[in-house]
């Protein structure tokens, strides 16, 4: 607690900057409450000192004391504080603004439940002052120019349920603590992340996980089977993954989208895929998979699109879903297969999954036992984003997982703030 208090104390330089005119409002201006006055100072500081280009004039009407009418700024009554009006949401999606997030911004807007900055040109890092955002539920900074290591400060936000960092330049590893957070949706695709998926993946209660288009390397952690009760979509396209698809994947009975295409995955497609009873799109194309396509895919009741071209499969069952595709494999009699010499070379040296080391075993005690995290974390609450389009989010920088407009935002933010404040973690 002491540490947090120290971290939250504003740096002297930042507070001096805030006190200096002209960012302070004229004394004659009346603000409905001190929180809106603080929000005014924070927004003006942002606009005047840290926004360098606003070609669509998105912030052109950010002037005057009524911050609640500023374009992209949304206020709501604070349910836990006598219903005073506070700034609860900022949505600058698609504004094409260039600038950065100053240290002073989070401190002046501690009641934000939602921050959406998709498709702008914000650069730099997320300041540690994000620690102030105890009520932040949705953070979408996708398709900007943020850099540096994974922004660990987001792992300390008690209310955060939706994290979208895709299409930025974050580099280095994914911190294991990410999967111990009660996040419902995690989008990290199209960054510069470079180390393997942490082995505690299965601790995550996320319903949507998109890590596509990074240089992760390593394998799919077998703990993925522990996501059986929550995972709906997982998209790991083009991540340099190797090793075998763990048989635990078959436990994911709620998954509708399972896409591991464009990696270096080896060995067979496990017969346990029979357990993917909800899967609609199953994409394993562009890997080094071998052996026969298991007959169990024919019995998957929801399967619409099974894609496995460009592997080394040597056989397949005869059902329509398994024969609709399948070029560039080693399947006798099927059209457009690999040259026989390639297939013979692969068949002579089958990959032995039992001897493949997925990744170094974690030190004893560092992994939370199965089931523990799910039982102690509150059930993730969904906000405006009912993130159900992981594949589109992986492919299109500007596509948001759910279409929204200002009216929808306005009507929902109040409820969002109320629901966030009901969660015990937020007020601690």
Ligand X SMILES: *[C@@H]1O[C@H](CO)[C@@H](O)[C@H](O)[C@H]1NC(C)=O
Residue 368 in tokens: 């939370």
380 upstream amide cis, omega within 30 of 0: no
Where does this chain touch ligand X (CB under 6 A) — which range of 17-25, 54-62, 99-107, 350-358?
Answer: 54-62
CB closer to ligand X, 195 vs 307: 307
Q: CA 80 to CA 350: how far, in whole Å?
A: 62
Residue 138 host element (H or E): strand 138-140
64: alpha, beta or left, given left = phi > 0 and alpha = psi -120 to 50? left
Sole binder of ligand X in the list 3, 12, 26, 57 (CB under 6 A): 57
Sole binder of ligand X in the list 33, 194, 307, 323 (CB under 6 A): 307
Tokens 């604070």 map to which residue?
78
CB closer to ligand X, 10 vs 65: 65
Question: Minimal distance in Å, beta carbon 370 to ligand X?
Answer: 32
Sole binder of ligand X in the list 33, 49, 71, 381 (CB under 6 A): 71
CB closer to ligand X, 56 vs 392: 56
Question: Minimal distance in Å, beta carbon 63 to ligand X?
Answer: 7
| Residue 268: alpha-carbon gap to chain centroid | 29
Question: Minimal distance in Å, beta carbon 306 to ligand X?
Answer: 8
Question: Minimal distance in Å, beta carbon 404 to ligand X?
Answer: 15
Tokens 């009554």 map to which residue?
77
CB closer to ligand X, 136 vs 276: 276
**56 binds ligand X, rule: CB under 6 A:** yes
Q: What are phi and psi of 291, to 5 degrees?
A: 80, -170
**156 binds ligand X, rule: CB under 6 A:** no
Q: CA 188 to CA 178: how far, in whole Å?
A: 11
Question: Minimal distance in Å, beta carbon 362 to ligand X?
Answer: 33
Question: Could you give the 3-state DSSP secondary structure of residue 149?
Answer: strand
Q: CA 245 to CA 266: how far, in whole Å?
A: 7
380: which DSSP letter? P
Map the footprint of ligand X across residues 266-305, applying CB under 6 A: 283, 305
Cα angle value 202/204/209 (rounded, 5°): 95
Number of residues that bind ligand X (CB under 6 A): 9
Instruction: Please name every residue paired with 172 in a beta bridge, in sequence order, or none if there are none.
Output: 193
**61 binds ligand X, rule: CB under 6 A:** yes
Question: Minimal distance in Å, beta carbon 9 to ligand X?
Answer: 33
**69 binds ligand X, rule: CB under 6 A:** yes
CA-based nearest residue to 56, from 42, 44, 72, 45: 72
Question: Under a CB-based contact definition with an 8 Å cutoff, are residues 162 and 183 in contact?
Answer: yes
Where does this chain touch ligand X (CB under 6 A) — which range of 42-50, 53-61, 88-96, 379-387?
Answer: 53-61
CB closer to ligand X, 87 vs 136: 87
**53 binds ligand X, rule: CB under 6 A:** no
Q: CA 9 to CA 315: how far, in whole Å?
A: 64
Question: Minimal distance in Å, beta carbon 377 to ligand X?
Answer: 32
Q: Which residues bind ligand X (CB under 6 A)?
A: 56-57, 61, 64, 69, 71, 283, 305, 307
């Amino acid at each position: 607690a002491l540490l947090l208090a120290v971290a939250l104390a504003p740096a002297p330089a930042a507070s001096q900057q805030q006190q200096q005119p002209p960012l302070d409002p004229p004394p004659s201006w009346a603000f409905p409450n001190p929180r809106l006055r603080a929000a005014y100072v924070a927004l003006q500081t942002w606009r005047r000192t840290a926004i360098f280009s606003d070609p669509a004039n998105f912030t052109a009407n950010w002037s005057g004391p009524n911050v609640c009418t500023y374009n992209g700024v949304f206020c709501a009554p604070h349910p836990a504080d006598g219903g005073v009006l506070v700034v609860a949401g900022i949505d600058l999606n698609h504004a094409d603004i260039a600038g950065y997030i100053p240290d002073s911004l989070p401190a002046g807007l501690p009641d934000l439940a939602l921050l959406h900055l998709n498709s702008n040109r914000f650069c730099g890092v997320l300041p540690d002052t994000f620690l102030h955002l105890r009520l932040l539920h949705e953070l979408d900074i996708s398709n900007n120019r943020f850099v540096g290591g994974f922004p660990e400060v987001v792992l300390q936000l008690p209310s955060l349920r939706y994290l979208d960092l895709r299409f930025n330049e974050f580099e280095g590893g994914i911190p294991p603590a990410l999967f111990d957070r009660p996040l419902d949706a995690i989008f990290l695709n199209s960054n510069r992340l470079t180390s393997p998926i942490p082995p505690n993946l299965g601790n995550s209660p996320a319903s949507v996980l998109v890590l596509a288009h990074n240089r992760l390397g390593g394998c799919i952690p077998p703990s993925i089977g522990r996501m059986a009760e929550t995972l709906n979509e997982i998209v790991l396209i083009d991540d340099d993954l190797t090793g075998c698809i763990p048989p635990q994947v078959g436990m994911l009975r709620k998954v509708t989208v399972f896409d591991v295409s464009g990696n270096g995955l080896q060995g067979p497609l496990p017969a346990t895929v029979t357990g993917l009873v909800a899967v609609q799109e199953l994409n394993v194309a562009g890997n080094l998979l071998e052996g026969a396509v298991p007959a169990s895919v024919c019995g998957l009741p929801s399967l619409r699109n099974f894609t496995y071209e460009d592997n080394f499969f040597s056989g397949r069952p005869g059902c329509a879903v398994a024969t609709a595709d399948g070029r560039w494999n080693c399947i006798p009699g099927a059209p457009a297969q690999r040259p026989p010499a390639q297939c013979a070379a692969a068949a002579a040296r089958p990959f032995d999954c039992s001897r493949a080391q997925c990744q170094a075993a974690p030190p004893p005690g560092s992994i939370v036992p199965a089931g523990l995290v799910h039982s102690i974390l509150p059930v993730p609450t969904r906000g405006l984003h009912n993130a159900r389009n992981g594949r589109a989010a992986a492919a299109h920088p500007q596509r948001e997982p759910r279409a929204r407009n200002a009216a929808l935002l306005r009507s929902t933010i109040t409820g969002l703030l109320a629901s966030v404040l009901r969660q015990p973690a937020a007020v601690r």
